[in-house]
Structure 1
């Protein structure tokens, strides 16, 4: 396990505030619009900075930004070497937050994640030693290498934003985001994540191989670096601090959403429960995640309200880990994403 605070990063300039003080009286609506525009600019600047470090994964970066602004957690799946860990390190570098990493292994204990009580010989008292979970940005590397008991240690923190140690509920610093990486289930030595834990991830993202030109650009850039096989994230600019991240989340949560768009998000989630070929549908958390994701994407593109396309844009990432294929479709070789594509095509979206 390693731990790294924002002091270990080289700060190039300082993060700019989201809202600047007005020099003359303005209406509340005008001030709100200015704050929204400034928040969008900050979010876009962060996205652009991440794209410098992680080449060929623009869609994944967009989705990670969606989860960050939406206040959710992310499960990143992909074969080794695609830049999953690099993306998380780059994000930590750019938002100037406290960062910790846990390498999940078969012998990792829950107390290694949450912390434990230690007996102090000098004071003859037990003291709580907080684990790496007490941070802003937690990288849970190869989470499906650890058994379910250890994976479950994350549950309370992800949902309640607190950890209970020795009967005491201890708050986790805010903002708090878990980015867990996992190898595909087919690989040896992996433990499937429990359904309760899967449901607490706002998005499940899949990282694919980059296009030929993008891979060429990546190889060219990496081989210029002194690091063996990855880009150095230290030169990245610090775009914002923890306070700005929380302001972005608040502004996104206040974006207007039409009742018809809200209804569309709920209908999408509910349709998975009765869709032929799906043995398990998505629960109410999926509906909430769709709305939060839609608001985050609207802010990221600079929109003034949420559109059906914003909901649709994050739907597969929200739903793919919350539904289960029937054995019949599995045998036919259909994937969850193909079924979700059918649902998105057939559930009518409102016209605004």
Structure 2
């Protein structure tokens, strides 16, 4: 069943209310907030590469409050163990059985702060839950809450003592974005409200967790014309043949681009995807999935610049075909 224009209008109205709600906390960062909710409603995860103090924790907490959900924060450090994230089984002498004690991963929105400071083994503890929304401990699977989203952060500076995220881990993140510093006007508004500490700010819920799940299911029904699929396929092929790229975008990346484009289309009040949806999301969805050639990386080439150039070189379908 394909989404109707009326359903798209209702979806957009709810989406905009969610964004406006979080915008009270993260001032002047509407685009990043929209990306965050696009990832949430696409049932994916978000990687934020940004400097300390830009509002990453505030974003995660406000998003969780907006969907009447729970949030948790895990500070990744070199001595963090996988069980500190997933939880552990502890023997209960009274019942003579092992009892599972859930870790912080069992929340609707989980902030994995400075994820690249933990060892690869600890980072890998997130692989199963990010892909399958469940945790296996001692051979027993435990389902996590729905909706479920991981917002991970890494610091682009102070790389000493960090572990670069492997390609398999990066591929699990639906999008990668940056919040950045606020502009002058937003900074003034933040300073005017300095009497209230960030962790004391509470935003009212807009929707329930059950409504978020329903919105996610609705987003899947957005129409995608074959010409849009062809456009995405050509764009993905171009990443694999680009001279600056050693390893192009996987099929998972192509599916992620279509999935997020459906959600963005509905968020904009449309029941169909257009080429502009693909262009807007191509950089945050695809850039972090590229493995660049070392020489190109040394010359200052980035995944974002490669995607930007490929968007120029790859001709989109006409609007009439897309609709």
What's the TM-score bracket when you normalise by the shorter of the two chains?
A: over 0.9
- CA apart distance, 1:185: 5.6
Q: Partner of 1:165 in structure 2?
A: 137
> Structure 2: how far apart are the matches of 1:159 and 1:244?
22
Helix, strand or coil for the counterpart of 1:116? strand
Name 2:8's counterpart in structure 1: 36
CA displacement at 1:34 relative to structure 2? 3.1
> Is 2:75–2:114's contact at 8 Å kept on the other side of the alignment?
yes
Q: Distance in 1 between matches of 2:132 and 2:96?
A: 32
1:275 aligns with 2:242: yes
Aligned mates of 2:107, 2:199 — CA distance in 1: 24
TM superposition shift of 1:264: 1.2
Q: 1:333 aligned to 2:304?
A: no
Structure 1, unaligned runs of 5 or more: 1-27
SS in 2 for 1:174: coil
Alpha-carbon deviation of 1:277? 0.9
* DSSP 3-state at the match of 2:190: helix
The 5-angstrom pairing of residues 132-281 of structure 1 reads: 132-184=104-156, 186-221=158-193, 223-225=194-196, 227=197, 230=198, 232-234=200-202, 236-281=203-248
SS at match of 2:24: helix
Q: How far has the Cα of 1:187 moved from its partner? A: 3.1
Q: Does 1:82 align with 2:82?
A: no
Cα RMSD of the aligned pairs, angstroms, is 1.7
Paired positions, count = 319
Q: Deviations over 1:127-162 (max 9, x none)?
A: 111212122211111111111100100000011111
Contact preservation (8 Å) 1:92, 1:137: yes
Is the CA contact (8 Å cut-off) linking 1:144 and 1:191 kept in structure 2?
Answer: yes
1:53-83: CA deviation from partner (whole Å, max 9, x where unpaired): 1012222111111101111100011010111
Partner of 1:297: 264
Q: Deviations over 1:105-142 (max 9, x none)?
A: 11110011111110111122211112121222111111
CA pair 254-194 structure 1, distance change in 2 beyond 3 A: same
State the TM-score, normalizing by the size of structure 2.
0.94
Structure 1 residue 315 and structure 2 residue 282: aligned? yes
Matching residue of 1:345: 312
- In structure 1, the residue corresponding to 2:259 is in which secondary structure? helix
TM-score by length of structure 1 reads: 0.87
Q: Deviations over 1:247-297 (max 9, x none)?
A: 111111101111101221222222111111111211001100100110111
